[in-house]
């Protein structure tokens, strides 16, 4: 066994994290380490490999050609270790499913279903992985994922769940948007613009708001919707996520125009991973619980 040269595990974890983030500082924050600590781990791994794996860019760092090839090998090795761990831990892990989704989907679509899910699949051990960008996740980091995508992605099995449809929403009892003297729009930061695209909706609906209109930027999509339900202002509702709240009378449409986009929300799984029985049963349940599916 003395001939084995196994890469340091901590260095491999740092390598994968930097590769996904494209930034040593972002990776350090994610790992709870200092930037110098992450840099030392990368240097340690490059010394082990005997080659440089990253090149510096204006935005941070990026894998070079050798680094990309090495990252693929590391991912395969980590996947194999994950499968090995699953076999060793036995029945407990056979019941565990990792579901990845964005924060908005977690707050407004998954959370309201957790009680029913618990009742229907009491044996399930669920891990909810909340991440805004599925492209930053390795296939071995989740079993299923729910994301809005403008087009279908290669190497994924994708089940449509809901349309890309926008409609402004507010608390019951308020005047229609076009009759408000000083509307307050509940918006998001630019990085979250895909959740509340007021510009596209206003253009498509041919609505001109008064000069007295104000915009408040909210820190999360759920905050925008909660504020709308409290009568504070008008939020841009993604219909598939807020339709249950509309049906329950907690929200009403502030304007009748619905803007239909080309994208959809999908339940996704990578074709690079074998679908375990537990993941299949959760997938079937999520699809069955989807009351506002894709039409047309």
Mean pLDDT of the chain: 87
Contact 261, 149 (CB under 8 A): no
Is a pLDDT exceeding 90 seen at residue 134? no
- Residue-wise pLDDT for 48-91, tens only, equals 888 999 988 887 888 898 988 888 888 788 777 666 555 555 55
For the chain, state the CA radius of gyration.
Answer: 23
Q: Delimit the domains of the chain by residue range.
A: 9-89, 91-162+263-288, 163-261
Q: What is the pTM of this model?
A: 0.66
- Residue-wise pLDDT for 227-271, tens only, equals 999 999 999 999 999 999 999 999 999 999 999 988 899 999 988
Of 182 and 198, the structure prediction assigns the larger pLDDT to: 182
CA distances from 229 to 90, 234, 243 (A): 45, 9, 13
Contact 202, 189 (CB under 8 A): no
- According to CATH, the topology of domain 9-89 is Arc Repressor Mutant, subunit A (1.10.10)
Per mean pLDDT, which range of 8-17, 191-200, 207-216 is the poorest?
A: 191-200
Q: How far apart are CA 290 and CA 280, in angstroms?
A: 16
Phi, psi (rounded to 5 degrees) for 102:
-75, 165
Return the pLDDT at 87.
52
Q: Give the mean model confidence (pLDDT) for residues 173-180.
A: 96
| Torsional sign, CA 188, 294, 111, 124 | negative
Contact 119, 244 (CB under 8 A): no
Do 163-261 and 9-89 fall under one CATH topology?
A: no
Return the pLDDT at 296.
41
Is a pLDDT exceeding 50 seen at residue 95? yes
Q: Give the mean model confidence (pLDDT) for residues 24-35.
A: 85
Of 184 and 82, the structure prediction assigns the larger pLDDT to: 184
Which of 3.40.50.700, 3.40.190.10, 3.40.50.300, 3.60.21.10 would CATH assign to domain 91-162+263-288?
3.40.190.10
Number of Cβ within 10 Å of residue 100's Cβ equals 21
Query: Does CATH number 3.40.605.10 belong to domain 163-261?
Result: no
SS3 57: coil
Is a pLDDT exceeding 80 seen at residue 3? no
Note every long-range contact of 71-77, with CB atoms under 8 Å and residues 24 or more positions apart, other chains counting.
71/15, 71/16, 71/19, 74/12, 74/15, 74/16, 75/16, 75/138, 75/139, 75/140
Return the pLDDT at 158.
94
């Amino acid at each position: 066994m003395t001939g084995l040269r196994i890469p340091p595990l901590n260095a491999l974890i740092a390598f994968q994290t930097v590769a996904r983030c494209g930034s040593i500082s972002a990776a350090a924050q994610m790992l709870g380490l200092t930037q110098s600590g992450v840099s030392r781990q990368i240097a340690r791994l490059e010394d082990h490999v005997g080659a440089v794996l990253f090149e510096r860019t204006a935005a941070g760092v990026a894998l070079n050609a050798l680094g990309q090839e090495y990252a693929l090998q590391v991912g395969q090795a980590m996947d194999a270790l994950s499968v090995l761990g699953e076999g060793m831990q036995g029945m407990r892990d056979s019941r565990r499913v990792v579901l990845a989704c964005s924060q908005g989907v977690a707050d407004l679509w998954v959370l309201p279903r957790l009680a029913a899910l618990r009742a229907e699949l009491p044996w399930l051990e669920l891990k909810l992985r909340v991440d805004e960008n599925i492209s930053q996740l390795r296939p071995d980091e989740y079993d299923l994922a729910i994301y809005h995508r403008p087009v279908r992605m290669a190497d994924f099995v994708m089940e449509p769940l809901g349309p890309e449809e926008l409609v402004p929403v507010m608390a019951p009892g308020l005047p229609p948007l076009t009759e408000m003297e000083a509307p307050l729009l509940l918006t998001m930061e630019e990085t979250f613009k895909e959740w509340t695209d007021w510009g596209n909706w206003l253009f498509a609906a041919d609505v001109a708001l008064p000069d007295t209109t104000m915009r408040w930027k909210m820190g999360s999509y759920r905050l925008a919707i909660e504020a709308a339900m409290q009568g504070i202002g008008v939020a841009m509702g993604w219909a598939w996520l807020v339709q249950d709240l509309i049906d329950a009378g907690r929200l009403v449409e502030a304007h009748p125009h619905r803007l239909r986009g080309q994208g959809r929300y999908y339940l996704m799984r990578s074709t690079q991973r074998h679908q375990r029985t537990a993941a299949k049963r959760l997938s079937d349940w999520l699809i069955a619980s989807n009351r506002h599916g894709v039409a047309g």
